[in-house]
Structure 1
Amino acid sequence: MPNSNLVNLKDELVVQMSGIRGLQIPLWGLFIMAVLAVLYFAKAVFIPIFLAVVFSFVLMIPVNLLEKIRIPPSLGALIVLLATLGGFSILAYYMYDPIKVWVERFPDEIQNIETKIVELRSSFNEVQKTTEEIDQTITDLTGSAVSSPGTQEVVVKSGSRLYTLMDNTQAFIVGFMFFLLLLYFLLAFGELMIKSLMMTWKDRAHRITFLRITQESQYQISYYLLLITLINIGLGIVTALGMWMIGMPTPLLWGVSATLLNYIPYIGPLINMILVTFVGLITFEHVSTAMLPALIILGLNIIEGQVVQPLFVGRMFTINPVFVFISVAFWGWLWGVAGMFMAVPLLMILNSFVIKMRELAEAAEAAKAAAVAAAVEAALAEEAAKDEIKIILN
């Protein structure tokens, strides 16, 4: 009887343990959901942190160059940071007036755009008839909606808008200052932080391995982001020249938009094409001419993506386009425009560390296999030596 009780107790424990193992997937799912919730609701904290990390990879290269000419990292980081802020400030100064002009002008030009669109539709008779029927239906529905007695007027207090604007401005200033301070500390003391973290391992081999992985990953990511930045700047310059040659107003604005939006794969160039299409419809008389800016943007982005990037970046930084698109969609859903700008750099950072960890695991397996082979060979040699001694003694 005691043996049967022990057997039953053992079976019950096995069933309970299997049930606990079955809960592992839901627990991981809950953990992922909790992480996503924290990233979303605390985005005011995490967005500056992630932006500072991404910018530090780009600006670390000039800081290292200054260190080679005996400028300490603390001073070099300050110089690079001030130069970057100055460049962005000058760019914002020259971009303010063109952006203001288009923001004020665009609502007045809606009628002109609609006229050009109607002109484009006129060449397609069947499409035009269908469009007119749809427009008539929408007009009827709109008229009935306006005449409905249940419509209520919504009054928005101007004070609430003012308070919202003040809160958003304050949050932006605090986040921006936090971003600048963190970026400076990463540039000035990033190497010291890595070495301090490295000392937490007692095993010297682990410390050396961690330092090698970190340095190689940092170099590859910095090299990639710097090349992408230079390519995007070149794309912006060529775009501005193209817009200037065809007579587009504010060509510098479209060059800057091409540079910035090209950091968002697929979606960014599409947004830029839509913007220049609307401006082309406003600027040029004929629809065929109005489509020329969008065609220039499309052609330049095809050349940049299919020729320039593979030529300078190479295959070592190639990531599956499906993962790139998913990354842009995910971070855009989580953090909006800021997330879309950081999607590819964050994916690149993750990809680099995964590759290095895989290489490390393969090297460890190879070393383990070599050690086992050496041990087997030593054991065989020892057995052979014993056999020889026995033969001699006999």
Structure 2
Amino acid sequence: MIQDRAATASLLLAAMVILLAAAFFARPILAPVTFAVFIVAVVWPIQGVMQRRVPKLLAMVVTLLSTLAAISILGYLVVWAFSHVAQWLLNNTARFQALYGQAVAWLEAHGLAVQPLMATSFSPAWITGAVREIGGQGYGLLSFVVIAFAFTVLGLLEVDLAHHNIQRLENARLRESLLTPAKEISAKFQKYMLVRSTMSALTGAVVWVFALTAGIELATAWGVIAFVLNYIPFIGPLVATVFPSLFALAQFESWNLALIVFGCLNAIQFFIGSYLEPRIAGARLSLSPFMVLFAVFFWSFLWGIAGAFIGVPILIAVLTICGEHEPSKWIAILLSGGDRNKPA
């Protein structure tokens, strides 16, 4: 009996490793398809409501155009904000060079000879290269969105057909096991995006006001970056606080002021992300912070920036499916961040 269980566990582990390896190597196809499925799950209920009043084709066109407009606006904001930051960086490279020299001199005065090491592994040119790399990732993400949009069109065209085919299944239990989780996942995805968008807009506005009040240059760009990056839990807010702090260090040439800026930005992110957002999202979307962080890092490792964004929705879908079946319900309970029996 024990040997059978060990063999079963080994087979499951091997199958999981093979599936994850396939997901990694097939990311050019699977990543856009997964993103498209997520978009379809979010926007199709809206299209369904529109179809009751207008023809189906018109409802689909309006839904697609609205989705494309929203994604295009986010993409434009990313390119606009980072291009302004990159331009400021190129125009003020001398400031970073001076700070670099001061840091090396201070460390050497305290007995730490780091100049040879930093000369080979770090230089102001590295910062410029990092910014350019981010810009290249942004353009790659734009092409990813174009491919995913094509899958979204096909997905919206076939949602009704898929629903009809499931309804034709003779096995009532199988029918219910497919339709119920699908509806629940779609509803959770909608609420997740609504809450995430609201909190991102609030974060961007507060960061913008703080940057203006503190006299930090590129205040609008920092607000936009905080708004966009907040869609990626943990990693996005971290980047949105580190970058302005480094630029504040170069602008004010004061470590104390830079640390104050870093602390204030982190306080803003912590209050909105750890206090307001969980209370607005409710117990229905409550997830273990450990699993959220793991999902973001794991899927970003597999699929890059797109994986970092889609990691939490994948986690939500997996836990919802687990919660709908008794043998796996314990997984959903264990990995949730609150009382799943509490009404949302």
TM-score range, shorter chain: 0.7 to 0.9
**What residue identity is the alignment partner of 1:316?**
R
Helix, strand or coil at the partner of 2:86: helix
CA contact (8 A) 2:33 2:151 kept: yes
Say whether residues 1:55 and 2:35 are aligned partners.
no
Residue range with higher mean Cα deviation, 280-289 or 297-306: 280-289
- The count of corresponding residues between Structure 1 and Structure 2 is 314
How far did 1:95 drift? Answer: 5.3
The residue that corresponds to 1:155 in the other structure is none
CA distance in 2, matches of 1:240, 1:314: 27
The residue that corresponds to 1:181 in the other structure is 150
**What residue identity is the alignment partner of 1:273?**
T
CA distance in 1, matches of 2:329, 2:21: 32
User: With structure 1 as the length reference, what TM-score do the two structures score?
Assistant: 0.68
Helix, strand or coil at the partner of 2:225: helix
Greater C-alpha radius of gyration:
1
Counterpart pick for 2:54 among 62, 71, 87: 71
How far did 1:344 drift? Answer: 0.8
Cα 1:226–1:359 shift into 2, 3 Å: farther
The residue that corresponds to 1:248 in the other structure is 216
Trace 1:92-241 onto structure 2 (pairs within 5 A).
92-93=75-76, 96-107=79-90, 109-116=92-99, 129-130=109-110, 133-136=112-115, 138=117, 173=143, 175-200=144-169, 202-208=170-176, 210-241=178-209
Q: Which runs of 5 or more residues in structure 2 are unaligned?
A: 121-135, 331-344
Write the deviation string for residues 125-166 of structure 1: whole angstroms up to 9, x where unpaired: 8x6633x53235648x96xxxxxxxxxxxxxxxxxxxxxx9x
Counterpart pick for 2:21 among 34, 37, 56: 37
CA contact (8 A) 2:78 2:228 kept: no
Cα 1:81–1:298 shift into 2, 3 Å: same
**What residue identity is the alignment partner of 1:226?**
L
Cα 1:52–1:246 shift into 2, 3 Å: same
Identical aligned pairs, as a percentage? 22
CA contact (8 A) 1:264 1:328 kept: yes
CA contact (8 A) 2:32 2:147 kept: yes
How far did 1:230 drift? Answer: 2.0
Cα 1:228–1:91 shift into 2, 3 Å: closer
**What residue identity is the alignment partner of 1:295?**
G
How far did 1:224 drift? Answer: 2.4
The residue that corresponds to 1:331 in the other structure is 299
CA contact (8 A) 2:322 2:329 kept: no
Q: Which runs of 5 or more residues in structure 1 are unaligned?
A: 1-16, 143-164, 363-394
The residue that corresponds to 2:131 in the other structure is none
The residue that corresponds to 1:154 in the other structure is none
Q: CA RMSD in A?
A: 3.6
Cα 1:60–1:253 shift into 2, 3 Å: farther
Trace 1:381-392 onto structure 2 (pairs within 5 A).
none
How far did 1:275 drift? Answer: 0.8
Residue range with higher mean Cα deviation, 104-113 or 216-225: 104-113
Helix, strand or coil at the partner of 1:39: helix
**What residue identity is the alignment partner of 1:259?**
F
CA contact (8 A) 2:43 2:63 kept: yes
**What residue identity is the alignment partner of 1:31?**
A
CA contact (8 A) 1:283 1:290 kept: no
How far did 1:34 drift? Answer: 1.7
CA contact (8 A) 1:48 1:176 kept: yes
Cα 1:307–1:93 shift into 2, 3 Å: closer
**What residue identity is the alignment partner of 2:311?**
A
How far did 1:19 drift? Answer: 7.3
Say whether residues 1:82 and 2:62 are aligned partners.
no
Helix, strand or coil at the partner of 1:133: coil
Write the deviation string for residues 162-194 of structure 1: whole angstroms up to 9, x where unpaired: xxx9xxx89974x54431122123334324313
How far did 1:319 drift? Answer: 1.1
CA distance in 2, matches of 1:111, 1:245: 26
Helix, strand or coil at the partner of 1:134: coil
Write the deviation string for residues 350-382 of structure 1: whole angstroms up to 9, x where unpaired: 1112112239989xxxxxxxxxxxxxxxxxxxx
